[in-house]
Amino acid sequence: MTTATAAPVVTIDGPGGAGKGTVAQAVAARLGWHFLDSGAIYRLLALSAQRAGLDAGQVESLVSVAQAMKIEFPATGAQAGQVLLDGEDVSEAIRSEDCGQFASELATQGLIRHALLERQRQFRQPPGLVADGRDMGTVVFADAPLKFFLTASVEERARRRHKQLMQKGISANLADLLEELKARDARDSKRTVAPLVPAEDATIVDTTDLSADAVIEKVLKAATGCV
């Protein structure tokens, strides 16, 4: 593979809390490939918009912000694993529930999605890319040779999110998280632009009763024999 467009891609889609981020990062590291957290890109736009005092209705201004953001997902070195916005580590800032909800609202806007589409495709570089998101296999990298769609019960996903936030010292209410996930699932699956659905050629994995390591090994086994 000598060109960015020819670089292989493994897509890992699914709803929030299904474990796709953990799996995608681990797979990328094991393969020595680039990693794209597409959800972080929407959260980065949400954070930038909040800092600029913009709301979801100011679409033209939001598109301008989306085009101007400098986004980095360092794969190696001291900043590996961080999410950088204009050089600033905002890994924690973009993971707040408020930021996530705003990002989900922005993702329903067709013009905003279009503005970020090419930004995402630019991450497709040799030797390959592991892309984590909600429409990686259906829209952004529809030609990817290997696609996964991870899911889990909404109750399990809420428990995972609650545990994650508590470990980070962020106060959270499990019942509230459950309702927020249900609302987000409904919004993501019913939106007219790139709804949250598995690609026709995706392998669907229910992670409710699976460990992250088990899912990682499943994806790696398939990737080794496919790309």
The CA distance from 196 to 149, in Å, is 10
Cα separation values, 131 from 35, 36, 49, 190, 212, Å: 6, 5, 24, 22, 17
Q: Annotation-wise, does 142 bind a ligand?
A: no
Confidence at residue 150, expressed as pLDDT on a 0 to 100 scale: 96
Confidence at residue 227, expressed as pLDDT on a 0 to 100 scale: 57
- Contact indicator for 116, 42 with CB cutoff of 8 Å: yes
The answer to whether the predicted template modeling score (pTM) of the entire model surpasses 0.85 is no
The region of weakest confidence among 18-32, 71-85, 106-120, 169-183 is 71-85
Angle at the Cα of 219 from the Cα atoms of 216 and 220, rounded to 5 degrees: 85
Q: 87-100: per-residue pLDDT in tens?
A: 999 998 998 888 98
Q: Annotation-wise, does 19 bind a ligand?
A: yes
Q: Annotation-wise, does 18 bind a ligand?
A: yes
Candidate ranges 72-81, 109-118, 186-195, 199-208; pick with highest mean pLDDT: 199-208
Q: Annotation-wise, does 169 bind a ligand?
A: no
Q: Annotation-wise, does 16 bind a ligand?
A: yes
| Mean pLDDT, residues 49-75 taken together | 92
Q: Annotation-wise, does 128 bind a ligand?
A: no
Query: Which 8-state DSSP code applies to residue 111?
Result: H
Angle at the Cα of 131 from the Cα atoms of 55 and 82, rounded to 5 degrees: 70
Q: Annotation-wise, does 20 bind a ligand?
A: yes
Provide the 10 A C-beta neighbour count for residue 73. Answer: 19
Q: Identify the band that residue 59 occupies on the pLDDT scale cut at 50, 70 and 90.
A: very high
Report residue 7 as tokens. Answer: 């670089």
- What CATH number matches the domain at 9-221, 3.20.20.140, 3.40.50.300, 3.40.605.10, 3.40.50.2300? 3.40.50.300
Confidence at residue 121, expressed as pLDDT on a 0 to 100 scale: 93
The CA distance from 157 to 135, in Å, is 19
